[in-house]
Copies of this chain bind each other. A is one copy, B any other.
Amino acid sequence: MDSPSLISQQLLSDPRVAEATKLLSAALAEHSTRLVARGPSAELAEPYQKWLDTFAELRGNPLFFPYLGSGAGRGALVELADGSVKYDMITGIGVHAMGHANPELLPELIPAVLSDTVMQGNLQQNTESLLLTQQLVTLANRNGASLEHCFLSSSGAMANENAFKVLFQHRIGSSRVLAFENAFAGRTHLTGQVTDRPKNRVGQPLTVPVDYVPFYDAGRPDESTQSTLQTVERYLIRYPDSHCGFIMELVQGEGGYYSAPREYFVALCELLKKHGVPAFFDEIQTFGRTYSPFAFQMLELDEYADVVTVGKMSQICATFFRKELNPKPGLLSQTFTSSTTAIVAATWILRKLLEGNYYGPQGRIAQIHSKFVSRLEAIRKTAPDRISGPWGIGGMIAFTPLDGSAEAAKKVLHALYEAGIIAFVAGAGPARIRFLPPFLSLTDDEIERVCDIVESVLLSEQFNS
């Protein structure tokens, strides 16, 4: 889509642009190199606390972590405005998969800021949006899925909202949703009802009935598969033609990083298919992080994918759907797709996923996973009361600290933060600690250092029972 006759192209070809990019890259590289893990600067403690207080007051509630980034970072390391530098193992819950201040990405962003608009939307958008859509659809269907259509949006919740709009219109008259127990689908009025977390919806009217289905239990494979199928079947009989679809995270995200074997999902999807209920794979957290770009590709469920959403590490979120589900004009639209920088970053990330050696049993994700696992296993051997698995899947790493109680997980989480690691919790019964490391740039050395800290925190006296 580049024609020399376009002024936009002439601008980008201007040697001053190249020169400026070089200068910025050099400056970034030089300064970033100086970042090392460290504690906060004493002199910044007071103003930092003031900023945190001000922000808490403005927002109405304090931030979860006392975290205000300074804007500097390098790979897993991030500088906060109190001068501390930490290992970011949660990356905004999986968003910054490319690491902080990735030097390869910078040259991609320069054209974006030279572009005419900060934001792009549905009515007026630039060629980057088309390119990104094309890239996404190609990637989604590369193993045989039939996700002909793709609609970009600015957040995962919006991608899921769009998915539900498509599904409800497809199943005219439906008003219910099938979902797994412990599902997390977002925080809008609708997706917050699908999300199996009462705390997120205190006081909200519950208007769309969600029929929850127990997930696979690796400890009781056959029994739990039967339980899933029977529960689904009972709902389908009890409420015929009433479900717009079954939203499923193929690896439970907020639910604790558990997955299930292919056969489980095949049996489930076949049952849904028999009843004409679309399968909706919510890959907002899993996208990019398993052993294939999509978890449904890893599990070879391509033929069952009716609706798929992606988000987080893709920067731009998207809703894929089959031709048969294509809604009438007027249903899908929005002012904002996202910013031009996010769109070009998404394009760059997708290119990396395809061109880098990230996937498959020998891919970088598998390596990263096994490095983490071998360190976590070792800690468990030393101190079986301090940590237990399973350890998640791919670039989604998790462990159960101490006794698996919610308080234990919270304590460990904050102790890790103090010690220089940003992580998060997931699941309940047991509550777990999870990592979504910046796998696109993560080095083995970073893994070692992070695991050293995890070990020392877990084995520290504060957790002696």
Contact = CB atoms under 8 A, between A and B. Distances in A.
A172 B175 CA distance: 13
User: How many copies of this kind of chain does the complex include?
Assistant: 4
Contact of A150 (B58, B137, B336): B58
A41 interface: yes
A370 B92 CA distance: 47
B24 A202 contact: no
Given A71-B126, A165-B189, A169-B202, A16 B7 contact: no
A32 to B, nearest CB: 7
A189 B122 CA distance: 18
A464 interface: no
A172 B203 contact: yes
A459 interface: no
A410 interface: no
Contact of A158 (B155, B175, B190): B155
A14 interface: yes
A92 B68 contact: no
Nearest to A176: B206
Contacts of A96: 116-119
B119 A100 contact: no
Contact of A127 (B1, B43, B69): B69
A189 B332 CA distance: 11
A422 interface: yes
Contacts of A8: 70-72, 79
B59 A168 contact: no
A59 B151 contact: yes
Given A58-B134, A157-B158, 4 more contacts: A55-B133, A64-B122, A202-B328, A203-B331
11 contacts: A11-B31, A14-B30, A60-B332, A64-B122, A88-B124, A100-B117, A101-B115, A154-B338, A161-B188, A165-B189, A187-B334
